[in-house]
Amino acid sequence: MERIIDLMYILGCFGILIATIILIFMQKKVPKIFGHYSNPEWNFFLKRWYAERIVRKIKKDQDVLLKYEKNYDNEYPKLLPSSKSSESQFIYGCDMNGNYLLLKFTRFQHRIAELWLVLRLEDGTTFTLPEHPDTRVCNATPNKFEAHGLTLENLVPYSKWRIRFSGLLRRGVRREFSELINENELEFVRFNFFWNACSVPQHWPFDWSPKLMATALALEPWRDGNWKFMLNKADSGGYDQFGALKGRIFIQNNKIDFSSTQNPDENFTVLELNLPGIRQRRWGPSKTSHLHRTASFVGVLQDGTVFELGAFSSKTGLTHCQFGNFRTPYGKVFAIDWSDFHLSNFAENSSQLPSNSVINLKVNSEKYKLEIEFKNERQFPLMGGNPFDWLEHNVPIECKVNGMKGCGISIFWYPKRNENFLHYRDFLRVKRVFYRHDVETQKLFSLT
């Protein structure tokens, strides 16, 4: 009789354990915000505690040397296995005078690329590619980050890049799509920058904060043991690295007379810039294939601090995952461990951009208050895809972090939706607009 009672006790405890696991980890319905973002449930804090332990264990198993000292191949163009694969380089730098340079080069199969190039000077002059807001290019150089007069060349892995451009840029920002290009708005611009790293790369996802990753995992339902694999998709990866752009810009003042004996440099306004900022490297499935939307901020403060903060939402899997890093004036990099930033509060509708915001952060056990003023009058839209299947708003910002002034950029990315979006258009054949038969362009390239 006692054995039967002991057996029933054991079975009862086992049943209670199973029921507890089902209640805590395997609920089927998760409340949603705006019909997409998962809302915390009653067991959220317990799930987050357990998820953080798992994430830290996985992170501990990573071979740091393999990530950024031995695996130099990640710095070079990758083999893209399918039409939905892509890889990108994003580089941004700005200074306190209002100068900034924003570049992004996204590669696809069959020499297709998407290019962003926005250069703004302290007097308010802004230069963009002639086709912008259309970013599509169909004649990129194979196996290189090179197209449309822009070249991104790796000199020292994880340390130094050369960025060169020589061609025509539009003076001003065009916010509506048009197949027509007014040549009177174009000016010849050439620049040569070196991007130098000032930190080791922060690899995605396991160099990000375990606390933020655990929060993202705990928001979602756990129906089986595969929940931990939501952090990273197959054949995808990337890293972020702080650094600075330093170089010279040549802007043509007037029509160049090559028969003249005067110094060619006299035809150009020459500017030297030093722009601290960030480089972001990504590869994997194209964003439109798996993302609901993204938003990110990059800022540079007067004391030399540089920060990034962002979040992405997947169509399936993680509906809200934050990330971010702070680089102090002394060169140390810390992951952002907590923030009250949520995508649902920031321009969920692409036609309703915010004017200002306050975000609270916690970095290295210290609290920070990030105040952002969005310069919507200077925002510039970009779009791409074949046909158009995404839209992005890039909004310059002025910010304060615990009272320290700074400036930067905010980026709001959206996939194609049914409302307020361009209809189907054939893929445009983009020409190398910097090439002109009536101008000896090799002489322009040789200017120093």
**Residue 188, in any domain of the structure:** yes
Give the DSSP letter of residue 185: G
Cα angle, residue 293 at apex, residues 231 and 148 outer, rounded to 5°: 100
Task: Please tell me the predicted confidence (pLDDT) of residue 72.
Answer: 81
Residue 242: domain span: 41-445
Q: Is 123 domain-assigned?
A: yes
User: How many other C-beta atoms lie within 10 A of the C-beta of residue 363?
Assistant: 20
- Whole-number Å distance between alpha carbons of 412 and 293: 8
The tokens describing 230, both together, are 């939501």
Query: Is there a contact between 94 and 409 (Cβ–Cβ < 8 Å)?
Result: yes
Task: Give residue 179's pLDDT.
Answer: 82
Domain count, the chain: 1
393 in any annotated domain? yes
Amino acid identity, position 11: L
Q: Which pLDDT belongs to residue 426?
A: 39
> Would you say residue 134 lies in a domain?
yes
Residue-wise pLDDT tens digits, 126-164: 999 999 999 999 889 999 999 999 999 999 999 999 999
Q: What is the pLDDT of residue 215?
A: 94
Q: For 425-434, write each residue's pLDDT tens digit.
A: 333 333 333 3
Note down pLDDT in tens along the chain; length 448 residues: 656 655 665 666 665 656 555 555 554 555 566 678 988 888 899 999 999 999 988 887 765 545 555 578 889 999 998 888 999 999 999 999 999 999 999 999 999 999 999 999 999 999 999 999 999 998 899 999 999 999 999 999 999 999 999 999 999 999 888 888 888 889 999 999 999 999 999 988 878 999 999 999 999 888 777 787 787 776 788 999 999 999 999 998 865 444 444 455 668 899 999 999 999 999 998 888 889 999 999 999 999 999 999 999 998 889 999 999 999 999 999 999 999 999 988 888 888 899 999 999 999 999 999 999 999 999 999 999 877 889 999 999 999 999 999 999 999 999 986 444 443 333 333 333 333 333 333 333 333 3
Does residue 201 fall inside a structural domain? yes
Would you say residue 16 lies in a domain? no
| 308 contact partners, CB below 8 Å, separation of at least 6 | 240, 278, 296, 297, 298, 299, 323, 324, 325
